[in-house]
Amino acid sequence: MAVTERTTTAQPCERILRAATDLLAEGGREAVSTRAVSAAAGVQAQTIYRHFGDMQGLLDEVARRGYASYLAAKQAQDEDGDPVAQLRRGWDMHVAFGLANPALYRLLYTEPRSGQQSAVTGEAHQVLLRLVERVAKAGRLRTGVEAAAAMIHSSGMGVTLTLIAAQADDRLGHYEGLSDNVREAILASALVPADDSTGRQEAGAHHAAVHAIALKSLMRDGVRSLTSGERTLLDEWLDRIAAEDGPGAEASAAEPGQDPVRRQ
């Protein structure tokens, strides 16, 4: 039987979005069908297509709206605060968002596609990149900005999906401490320790690599005294210096006299 549109204070577009959001939260992606949304919103199927093009367009808008408050909170972090502390808070926010919105999180992160969803999650990734760049400028990053951001993003997503699955099976208590432990392991791998005695020794051992990474990040703010060619060459040198602290650095260092450009 055809569904007739109900007279209500909410516009059809808003009713459709609310219905799709509720269905996604209650039953996951599979529950958001044309028939189910039409019935819940009190509209005909063509009304959905008129407003959103197709069901994927509707899901994209649900994802964008659901992500908006989380993204705003990440973007609102104080630019002058401790960037390492903000990395920790950002990780915790990401995990908390996933546990509070498991179906939406899966929609955003386990159904990759070009278009709106990539744009939505891409904004959050840009926030992460800017924050990691601030860590680099502070002389706390031991690897490149992009590599560190990829480590943090991928491990955070893996932890979140693991905890979402555990939550669905009512086994979340079995994973107590997992998020904190993985977060600290990743940060220990990507960052130079703070100013305790151990940190000073390690920072000294990796002095050149750490400061090469910091200088490269600082240069992105603009160095007017260098030509574009000079900047490209300096970037290459800084990358090579930074790579000396990466995997295989010890083996390479044990081969004196070998041309560093040809070392693999």
Q: How far apart, in whole angstroms, are the C-alpha atoms of residue 140 and residue 138?
A: 6
| One domain for residues 118 and 205 | no
Q: Does the predicted TM-score (pTM) go above 0.75?
A: no
Q: How far apart are CA 142 and CA 189, in angstroms?
A: 8
Residue 73 contacts residue 93 (beta carbons within 8 Å): yes
* pLDDT value, residue 207: 62
- Count of the separate structural domains present in the chain: 3
**End-to-end Cα distance, the chain:** 69
How much of the chain, in percent, has pLDDT values that exceed 70?
Answer: 69
**Which CATH number fits the domain that encloses residue 32?**
1.10.10.60
Query: What per-residue confidence (pLDDT) applies to 234?
Result: 66
45-65 CB burial, b ≥16 within 10 A, e <16: eebbeebbeebeebbbbbbbe
- Please check whether residues 171 and 208 belong to one and the same domain: no
263 within a domain of the structure (yes/no): no
CATH number at residue 159: 1.10.357
Is residue 247 scored above 80 in pLDDT? no
Q: Comparing 28-32, 70-74, 143-147, 252-256, which segment has the lowest mean pLDDT?
A: 252-256
Distance separating alpha carbons of residues 94 and 87, to the nearest angstrom = 11
Q: Residue 229 — pLDDT band, cuts 50, 70, 90?
A: confident
Packed helices 12-27 and 45-52: angle between N→C axes, nearest 10 degrees: 100
Amino acid in the structure at residue 61: E
* DSSP-based three-state secondary structure for 250: helix
Range of the domain at 14: 1-53
Can you tell me the mean pLDDT for 239-254? 52
pLDDT mean over 247-260: 40
pLDDT tens readout for residues 156-180: 999 999 999 999 999 999 999 999 9
Q: Is 245 helix (H, G, I), strand (E, B) or coil?
A: coil
Range among 3-7, 55-59, 125-129, 156-160 rated most confident:
156-160
Same domain assignment for residues 120 and 212: no
- Asked, for residue 18, whether it belongs to a domain, the answer is yes
pLDDT tens per residue, range 102-112 = 999 998 888 76
Higher local confidence (pLDDT), 213 or 97: 97
Q: Are residues 153 and 83 in the same domain?
A: yes
Predicted pLDDT at 75: 79
DSSP classification of residue 30: G
Q: 9 in a domain, yes or no?
A: yes
Give 175's contacts (C-beta < 8 A, 6+ positions apart).
162, 163, 166
**In a 3-state reduction of DSSP, which class is residue 77?**
coil
Q: pLDDT tens digits, residue range 2-32?
A: 444 444 456 999 999 999 999 999 998 899 9
Q: Are 67 and 36 in contact (CB under 8 A)?
A: no
Q: Is residue 27 part of a domain?
A: yes
